[in-house]
Amino acid sequence: MIPRYSRPEMVAIWSPQTRFRIWFEIEAHATSALADLGVVPQEAARVIWEKGNAATFDVERIEEIEATTKHDVIAFLTHLAEIVGPEARFVHQGMTSSDVLDTTLAVQLARAADILLADIDALLAAIKRRAVEHKTTITIGRSHGIHAEPTTFGIKLAEAYAEFARNRTRLVAARAEIATCAISGAIGTFANIDPRIEEYVAEKMGLMVEPVSTQVIPRDRHAMFFATLGVIASSLERVATEIRHLQRTEVLEAEEYFSPGQKGSSAMPHKRNPVLTENLTGLARLVRGMVTPALENVALWHERDISHSSVERMIGPDATVTLDFALARLTGVIDKLLVYPENMQRNLDLLGGLHNSQRVLLALTQAGYSREDAYVLVQRSAMKVWEMRGDRTGAFARKLREDPEVTLSDGEIDAMFDDAYHLKHVDTIFRRVFGES
Amino acid sequence: MIPRYSRPEMVAIWSPQTRFRIWFEIEAHATSALADLGVVPQEAARVIWEKGNAATFDVERIEEIEATTKHDVIAFLTHLAEIVGPEARFVHQGMTSSDVLDTTLAVQLARAADILLADIDALLAAIKRRAVEHKTTITIGRSHGIHAEPTTFGIKLAEAYAEFARNRTRLVAARAEIATCAISGAIGTFANIDPRIEEYVAEKMGLMVEPVSTQVIPRDRHAMFFATLGVIASSLERVATEIRHLQRTEVLEAEEYFSPGQKGSSAMPHKRNPVLTENLTGLARLVRGMVTPALENVALWHERDISHSSVERMIGPDATVTLDFALARLTGVIDKLLVYPENMQRNLDLLGGLHNSQRVLLALTQAGYSREDAYVLVQRSAMKVWEMRGDRTGAFARKLREDPEVTLSDGEIDAMFDDAYHLKHVDTIFRRVFGES
Amino acid sequence: MIPRYSRPEMVAIWSPQTRFRIWFEIEAHATSALADLGVVPQEAARVIWEKGNAATFDVERIEEIEATTKHDVIAFLTHLAEIVGPEARFVHQGMTSSDVLDTTLAVQLARAADILLADIDALLAAIKRRAVEHKTTITIGRSHGIHAEPTTFGIKLAEAYAEFARNRTRLVAARAEIATCAISGAIGTFANIDPRIEEYVAEKMGLMVEPVSTQVIPRDRHAMFFATLGVIASSLERVATEIRHLQRTEVLEAEEYFSPGQKGSSAMPHKRNPVLTENLTGLARLVRGMVTPALENVALWHERDISHSSVERMIGPDATVTLDFALARLTGVIDKLLVYPENMQRNLDLLGGLHNSQRVLLALTQAGYSREDAYVLVQRSAMKVWEMRGDRTGAFARKLREDPEVTLSDGEIDAMFDDAYHLKHVDTIFRRVFGES
Amino acid sequence: MIPRYSRPEMVAIWSPQTRFRIWFEIEAHATSALADLGVVPQEAARVIWEKGNAATFDVERIEEIEATTKHDVIAFLTHLAEIVGPEARFVHQGMTSSDVLDTTLAVQLARAADILLADIDALLAAIKRRAVEHKTTITIGRSHGIHAEPTTFGIKLAEAYAEFARNRTRLVAARAEIATCAISGAIGTFANIDPRIEEYVAEKMGLMVEPVSTQVIPRDRHAMFFATLGVIASSLERVATEIRHLQRTEVLEAEEYFSPGQKGSSAMPHKRNPVLTENLTGLARLVRGMVTPALENVALWHERDISHSSVERMIGPDATVTLDFALARLTGVIDKLLVYPENMQRNLDLLGGLHNSQRVLLALTQAGYSREDAYVLVQRSAMKVWEMRGDRTGAFARKLREDPEVTLSDGEIDAMFDDAYHLKHVDTIFRRVFGES
């Protein structure tokens, strides 16, 4: 988590103040529930809430205590006792540190997921707006980086939309995975804490009850969560890569917005580089790199060990902060993306009509040729065009007409070079992706 | 995918014969649909089905053709033409190789997921059976590998059950992710193939329609699928690690079944080693290692490149075959696991009652001590017991009674060394995990 | 390891026959050394060599025995006893299975490394040949995919050469890492086997002695080995990515060889795709994916567990076979790469001379402008050219001449558009990379 | 990089002040060299050094400028111009940002490697001290977590020593990989900067010259560096895992130092947990997780893109800071490790002498039994002892004596239960690992 790639709202979730505040709330809610069950005095619960709510927790003081106890939750509880006074002895009754820590992490990750969901919503809105704008902006489709057949820039964006809509669904599922509350005491047996405390705290903190915890919330939940972030990051990379390709000098079908005063290179004043999407590519690598540590965290020893903790202290903030930043950055890129339809048309025309080779192939098979023979015939003319240099306008149709074995009339051939043909199902695709408008 | 860690049913999904059979079905269904739309003659569709159904595809012949074409689908189509005759020219009309390849992969992964789901069901059944058997078999719970408080062996298994029940849910979602059909032609625009063909083939092959494909089915779907397998593998590792720990010579609370004639070591005839669960640990690493390549596959260039293909040719079979084998192996391990309740009791007694330290702490806070002071008091006696060597029977209660600052009566102290206390919520946990019986 | 991406020489290293042959040699050498020390009869050693050398080990028979013993080395020894007769009891004296297995793996990995080193040598030779051929073939250098300043195609290849020369050095080091022999008996204490046996076998098998083994050869060695393969794979991906970029329709500065009869697409007969380098990109992902499992193998429990074994059974063959295939494939691609200098020149001219913007910047700073002011001035003209469409021949010089604040004479400006200027240090670079010729 | 797992010396390497200071030195050295070549006035170089040396770079001001230029090096140069005055226009002549950035990263990583090397030296010293101390402290060796044969605690530490000595060698090589200087200008052609500048700066900054750079230093170097850190982290995990195992309640052969006032659990005052080594296990996962992003950074596009930058901004500090902290933490753990030889002896005696099963096996084969028959015989007695509960003192010898088929005299049998037998080669091993003392 470095300032350059961070946004304040997500960063705030991971601040010590936020963490201690959540710790306090969990402890205080648990004490309230214990009071309701008669385990601790109602008055104690009241005092704890009152004094704790009024306090700002002193991070340095807590760290000072931890230097001796070497245990962060005990340090916090000791500090809380300094604030609350004698009633503090009723705090944390029957609970273990993991009850606090894991439920807190659940709250933090759920809040982080909410921000990420809002990020995706904003991204989806931006993509949709540009997709509709360029619904029929014709452009060459490329497989293997090589011209294939035409599509529209709107369809390209519709694909991104569908992918991020899937990512949204995945993230909703991942959020549900980690939004559970465990207040089950040492080893998770509820020996010293009634399961009703857990139910109470869960409801207050907006979480589900963890059905069975082993003192800790099982880490397969977190593994699934971070794996999902890794998939979303990979989708980000896909869109970023597309834009980087489109901005290449020779292609230049789209370009990241270049602001007044911006400089592309310290040495070469002519440069305008796709630095935002290249940055997104790197950020995707980072988020993806956190998936495996999260997977390795699953196999804790016996009821729990603490090896997951250092991993989560780092990837918890890093993965969510980085992904939040990246999603917002991509939204900005899409929103302000410069699109050049005239360059798209120029590139489309580059191969002299070769993008219609399949139509000719199909026409020849319909006319009685075997698939194999038709292929040879079409490929023969196509390769001649391929190897031409310079202006290829109309070249493919010409070569086909010149080939005596191509048993199609000139009119039939010419009819196959109408690009609107390729766009006839744009509506179908848009309807599938965006629904009826 | 190596024979040692493979089971035939899963292996069969990935055989060339299966693959070519699915290819044929997709092509033939598409041709039927084309015939229904009047694009190709109904008779052609009939002949294709008839001759194709009767044929065994000749893998060597297809490879021979591919040596020239350097294109596997074209090689297959050429071979199919040898089988079908002139009507073969109506096959693959308006389709592109990816329509066949990606839809086939969807079928294969969906079938693989079905086997894995059955594997998980068998595992869940085995775990549940042993959990019920050992519902109240008391055993020490361990955090950090150190004795904490008692639990039951049944609860340990209930945790595994809950985890694999979650994995089942995840796998159902992952299966849905990849079970889509794309018959959208070059660049996915349907320019040369009607969307109704896709709907027809999807239904026939038991798949959903891919809303928008870019010639290929988008790889975020597969990334999510393999990431899910990685999570499941990590859960396998968790259970395997637990058993490895329990089988240690000093612990020996459970042991993998050791069959007559089995040998543990070539050098040391006395050895009985947890080799199956160690093996599962390694297999988990393998499956987990396939997650990142799957994530890297997402960012294909433009409408598609073919870089994902070699990755999937390897991890498609390897991840599913390995996980299938591992799940079945774990089921066998759980099923035949030797459990030693007497050793569990012996280990539980090792620390002279220290596992009740929290109860004493709570009693002291209820008696008016601050949490901090009570902690110091209990820790003082506990450390004396900790540092004893040899038999510690009753030692902790004794030390507490000897401490004048511990303001609890002997009776109060003794009452805190009743282990049944720790098991009072076993029913709650079982009800949560297994439901009402 | 799948046939499609395998070459026979590397595959042979990993065949059961090869493995059993190495097992035999290690056992037989150890017996010879034991005979020299008088621990076993010389005659026994002689008979073992004689009968073992004459035998072909029966893989099926060994598997049959293993089905009972569940131990592969014991199964082999039992089969060897069937071949050798009573003298077989002197085989494996004081040894443990790991002595055989780990030393065998060392032999296999060392042989695999030798093949990979030869692969790299062949690749280096191909790169060098093409680099010399295109030493002064001018082409635009690109940063961020955007035209920057000219370089030569030979320099691009020199970079690849330098990178693979580094990879060669790394692989030599990695080979040394894993080429060690351990014959140290159970737990590695030499309690039942004299260290001189280890020295003898090491020398015979062409390995170094492992200074201290824990029954197994420590897995940090293998981790380093596979990590090195991951780096090499990543270099492969870099070169492959470069070629994929150069083959794009709009760029077409180089192209993979397209053989007669080859077909690029089943649907579109005009396609010629960079499928080999795309394939290399995927293979790189696979090899890279094996690094983490190898790293996870390091932390075996105590003196050893067997969790590494299943990992190595898969990644040992898979990583080496895949990398061998990939290196050979890249060598073929480089060797037959079609290079289009005229397209390079056409692309170079695309931006009307903007690639000389730095020269103008420097001239202005030399003429007294501050860096910041000069930058603004050059960027101003450059952006005008940038936004032109169509033919930009001579545009940048023209814009500069038109700008009254550019205090350079027309002659000074024109002199800055001589592309040979950029190539003046090609010799320096070639000397650094290839040495004096 | 979070404070909890950071040490100040390593953190300082990555501070903005350090970075800007190195940037300045590179720019100033380059200007000096340019002055020596007569490209810029000597007086300018002098002024730049004088004013730059006196300055503290204003991080906030630089960030303010970057907000407009969106380019960090240009922002720094603009700020430098504010400090230096008009002579600043002679700074950065012919250089590109990557010359500064990549050479700076080389300096930072080299310095980081120096700290890590010192860390490893300290760790090696600690391990050696404890190894010598426990050279003959007998303890049971374990394979698969199961008692095998005796070894010494000193040998265990010797293995760790040998492993970290290898890691030291690897890190020296990795440091050499990344300690190169590139001042080669745009696209690395030296078109606007003489190669002698690079040589000069390299020498001044303590780096080697990069033979050929593509504007950037090739990222295979960094990949190798981070992969090496990943291997070292994995070794850390191995040692940490060993200690975690030894500290288990049932084993307790060693224990992390537990300081006065320390608390092991908020709920259970009796706990003393191996939290430092569990923490190291997690930190190892983190460092390992950074290997793959570093590998993915290799395949930059063409001469360079900037996707590596965000990755390195994070993993550069994170991997080095985390590993530095972890190495120091492990050194502390080893240094203060509590070792319990009496518990080692107690555990060793647990299986009633079974750890000598191999000796009996070998004696029987020497006495004429086939390996297979001898194995069955020894295993038969061993399994009886295995299945005993309670005190097994002398049990294995007893069972062997009772077995009429065991054709060894009672004296021969008893002679095989002398544990000193297992330690006869401790000297050999120590000599191999630590050299002659």
Q: Which residues of D touch B149 (CB under 8 A)?
A: 268
Whether the Cβ atoms of residue A270 and residue C379 lie closer than 8 Å to each other: yes
- Which of C248, C249, C276, C340 should one mutate to test binding to chain A, selecting the residue with the greatest count of A CBs within 10 A? C249
Give the torsion through C-alpha atoms of D245, D251, D254, D260, to 10 deg.
100
- Is 1.20.200.10 the CATH number for D97-257+268-347+433-437? yes
Using CB atoms, list chains with 3+ pairs below 8 Å to chain B. Answer: A, C, D
Q: How far is A386 from chain D (nearest CA, A)?
A: 24
Residues D289 and D291: their CA atoms lie apart, in Å, by: 6
Ramachandran area for residue A352 (φ above 0: left; ψ -120 to 50: alpha; else beta): left
Nearest residue, CB atoms, B186 vs list C73, C268, C308: C268
Superfamily of domain C96-348+423-437: Fumarase/aspartase (Central domain) (1.20.200.10)
Q: At residue A161, does pLDDT exceed 90? A: yes
Which residue of C lies nearest to D178 if distances are taken between CA atoms?
C166
CATH of span B96-194+201-345: 1.20.200.10
- The residues facing C255 across adjacent strands are C338
At residue D309, the pLDDT reads 97
Task: Compute CA A228 distance to the chain's CA centroid, rounded to the nearest angstrom.
Answer: 8
Q: How far is B323 from chain C (nearest CA, A)?
A: 13
Please enumerate in sequence order all residues whose Cβ is within 8 A of that of D220, keeping only pairs 6 or more positions apart, or say none: C163, C166, C167, C231, C234, C235, C238, D298
Least confident of A296-310, B124-138, B214-228, C388-402: C388-402
Q: Where in chain B is the domain with CATH 1.10.40.30?
A: 354-416
Superfamily of domain A96-347+423-437: Fumarase/aspartase (Central domain) (1.20.200.10)
Q: Phi, psi (5° rounding) for residue A100?
A: -75, -50
At residue D262, the pLDDT reads 84
For tokens 């070794």, what's the residue?
D235
Q: Which residues of B touch C290 (CB under 8 A)?
A: 289
Give the confidence band of C210 by pLDDT, cuts at 50, 70, 90: very high
Distances (CA, A) of C414 to A250, B141, B157, B432, C406: 25, 83, 82, 83, 13
Q: Which CATH class is domain D1-93?
A: mainly alpha
- Which of B128, B214, B222, B355 should one mutate to test binding to chain A, selecting the residue with the greatest count of A CBs within 10 A? B214
Q: At residue C437, does pLDDT exceed 70? A: no
The residue from D144, D259, D266, D302 that is catalytic is D144
Structure tokens at C258: 């397209």
> How many beta-carbon pairs below 8 A join chains A and D?
162
Count CB neighbours of A172 within 10 A.
14
Q: At residue D324, does pLDDT exceed 90? A: yes
Q: Do A267 and D4 touch (CB under 8 A)?
A: no
Amino acid, res. C437: S
> How many beta-carbon pairs below 8 A join chains A and B?
310
Amino acid, res. C300: L
- Which of A142, A146, A276, A307 should one mutate to test binding to chain C, selecting the residue with the greatest count of C CBs within 10 A? A146
Q: How far is B290 from chain C (nearest CA, A)?
A: 6
Active site residue D144: yes
At residue A27, the pLDDT reads 97
Least confident of A258-272, B129-143, D94-108, D170-184: A258-272
pTM of the predicted model over 0.90:
yes
Segment A283-339, tens digit of pLDDT: 999 999 999 999 999 999 999 999 999 999 999 999 999 999 999 999 999 999 999
Kindly give the residue spans of alpha helices, DSSP state H, lying in D134-194. 153-178
Give the confidence band of B389 by pLDDT, cuts at 50, 70, 90: confident
- In chain B, the N- to C-terminal Cα span, in Å, equals 41
Q: Do A224 and B237 touch (CB under 8 A)?
A: no
Give the confidence band of C112 by pLDDT, cuts at 50, 70, 90: very high
Q: Do C251 and A250 touch (CB under 8 A)?
A: yes
The residue from B15, B71, B265, B409 that is catalytic is B265
Q: Do B362 and A93 touch (CB under 8 A)?
A: yes
Q: What is the mean pLDDT of chain A?
A: 95
At residue C328, the pLDDT reads 98
Count CB neighbours of A427 within 10 A.
11
Nearest residue, CB atoms, D268 vs list B357, B383, B389: B357
Q: What is the mean pLDDT of chain D?
A: 95
Give the confidence band of D1 by pLDDT, cuts at 50, 70, 90: confident
More confident residue, C212 or B2: C212
Give the confidence band of C396 by pLDDT, cuts at 50, 70, 90: very high
Please enumerate in sequence order all residues whose Cβ is within 8 A of that of D258, keeping only pairs 6 or more positions apart, or say none: D264, D272
Q: Which residues of D touch B383 (CB under 8 A)?
A: 270
Amino acid, res. A345: Q
Please calculate the CA angle A196-A197-A198 and round it to the nearest 5 degrees.
90
Whether the Cβ atoms of residue A289 and residue A318 lie closer than 8 Å to each other: no
Q: How far is D123 from chain B (nearest CA, A)?
A: 24
Q: How far is C137 from chain A (nearest CA, A)?
A: 19
Q: Which residues of C touch D419 (CB under 8 A)?
A: none
Structure tokens at B286: 């393998």
Segment B326-381, tens digit of pLDDT: 999 999 999 999 999 999 999 999 999 999 999 999 999 889 898 889 999 999 99
Mean pLDDT of C169-176: 98
Nearest residue, CB atoms, C227 vs list D159, D230, D425: D230
Q: Do A286 and D310 touch (CB under 8 A)?
A: yes
Q: Kindly state the percentage of chain D with pLDDT values over 70.
A: 100
At residue D437, the pLDDT reads 55
For tokens 């300018």, what's the residue?
D44
Q: Do D379 and B269 touch (CB under 8 A)?
A: yes
Q: Do A314 and D318 touch (CB under 8 A)?
A: yes
Count CB neighbours of D51 within 10 A.
16
Q: Which residues of A touch B237 (CB under 8 A)?
A: 298-299
Mean pLDDT of C27-41: 96
Active site residue D222: no
Q: Do D292 and C296 touch (CB under 8 A)?
A: no
Whether the Cβ atoms of residue A99 and residue A194 lie closer than 8 Å to each other: no
Give the confidence band of A390 by pLDDT, cuts at 50, 70, 90: confident
At residue D75, the pLDDT reads 93
Indicate which residues of A carry an active-site annotation.
Answer: 144, 265
Least confident of B286-290, D94-98, D105-109, D226-230: D94-98
Q: At residue D266, does pLDDT exceed 90? A: no
Give the torsion through C-alpha atoms of D271, D277, D282, D287, to 10 deg.
160
Q: Which residues of A touch C342 (CB under 8 A)?
A: 389
Measuring CA to CA, which residue among A147, C12, A39, D339 is closest to residue B301?
Answer: A147
Nearest residue, CB atoms, A307 vs list D278, D290, D301: D278
Which residue of A lies nearest to B177 if distances are taken between CA atoms?
A166
Q: Do C144 and A292 touch (CB under 8 A)?
A: no
Structure tokens at C247: 């083959």
Task: Compute CA B38 distance to the chain's CA centroid, rounded to the nearest angstrom.
Answer: 46
DSSP B141: E
Segment A186-227, tens digit of pLDDT: 999 999 999 999 999 999 999 999 999 999 999 999 999 999
Q: Where in chain C is the domain with CATH 1.10.275.10?
A: 1-93
DSSP C393: T
For strands A208-209 and C146-152, give the pairing.
unpaired
More confident residue, A268 or D329: D329
Q: Do A211 and B432 touch (CB under 8 A)?
A: yes
Residues A193 and A205: their CA atoms lie apart, in Å, by: 18
| Three-class DSSP category at B259 | coil
Give the torsion through C-alpha atoms of C65, C66, C71, C76, to 10 deg.
60
Count CB neighbours of B436 within 10 A.
5
Q: Do D187 and C150 touch (CB under 8 A)?
A: yes
Q: Where in chain C is the domain with CATH 1.20.200.10?
A: 96-348+423-437
Q: Which residues of A touch B374 (CB under 8 A)?
A: 89
Nearest residue, CB atoms, C190 vs list D163, D299, D428: D428
Residues A35 and A32: their CA atoms lie apart, in Å, by: 5
- Where b means 16+ CB within 10 Å and e means fewer, D162-192 reads bbbbbbbebbeebbebbbbbbbbbbbbbbbb
Please spell the DSSP secondary structure of A326-365, one letter per residue: HHHHHHHHHHH-EE-HHHHHHHHGGGTTGGGHHHHHHHHH
- The residues facing C151 across adjacent strands are C139
Please enumerate in sequence order all residues whose Cβ is within 8 A of that of C231, keeping only pairs 6 or more positions apart, or say none: C167, C170, D220, D223, D224, D227, D295, D298
Residues B301 and B322: their CA atoms lie apart, in Å, by: 30
Give the confidence band of C372 by pLDDT, cuts at 50, 70, 90: confident
At residue D261, the pLDDT reads 81
Using CB atoms, list chains with 3+ pairs below 8 Å to chain C. Answer: A, B, D
Which residue of C lies nearest to B245 if distances are taken between CA atoms?
C301
- Which of C314, C329, C336 should one mutate to test binding to chain B, selecting the residue with the greatest count of B CBs within 10 A? C314
More confident residue, D342 or A390: D342
Q: Which residues of D touch C78 (CB under 8 A)?
A: 372
For B335-384, where are the E strands, in sequence order? 338-339
Segment D423-433, tens digit of pLDDT: 999 999 999 99
DSSP A419: G
Nearest residue, CB atoms, D249 vs list B147, B272, B378: B147
Mean pLDDT of A349-370: 93
Which residue of B lies nearest to A372 if distances are taken between CA atoms?
B78
- What is B354-416's CATH number, 3.30.420.40, 1.10.40.30, 3.40.50.720, 3.40.50.2000? 1.10.40.30
D373-379 long-range contacts, CB within 8 A, separation 24+ = D374/C89, D375/B263, D375/B269, D375/C74, D377/D403, D377/D405, D377/D406, D378/B269, D378/B270, D379/B263, D379/B269, D379/B270
Residues A361 and C31: their CA atoms lie apart, in Å, by: 71
At residue A266, the pLDDT reads 81
The residue from B143, B144, B302, B437 that is catalytic is B144
Measuring CA to CA, which residue among A359, A352, A356, A357 is closest to residue A395?
Answer: A352
Q: Which residues of D touch A92 (CB under 8 A)?
A: 266-267
Q: What is the mean pLDDT of chain B?
A: 95
The residue from C15, C71, C265, C425 that is catalytic is C265
Residues B247 and A243: their CA atoms lie apart, in Å, by: 55
Q: Which residues of C touch A378 (CB under 8 A)?
A: 269-270
At residue A437, the pLDDT reads 55
Least confident of A314-323, D347-356, D368-377: D368-377
Q: Do B269 and D342 touch (CB under 8 A)?
A: no
Structure tokens at C338: 């079609």
Residues A364 and A368: their CA atoms lie apart, in Å, by: 6
Mean pLDDT of C30-58: 95
Kindly give the interhelix angle for D275-289 and D220-247, rounded to the nearest 10 degrees. 160
Q: Which residues of B touch D350 (CB under 8 A)?
A: 249-250
Q: Do B186 and A148 touch (CB under 8 A)?
A: yes
Q: Kindly state the percentage of chain A with pLDDT values over 70.
A: 100
Q: Phi, psi (5° rounding) for residue A154?
A: -65, -40
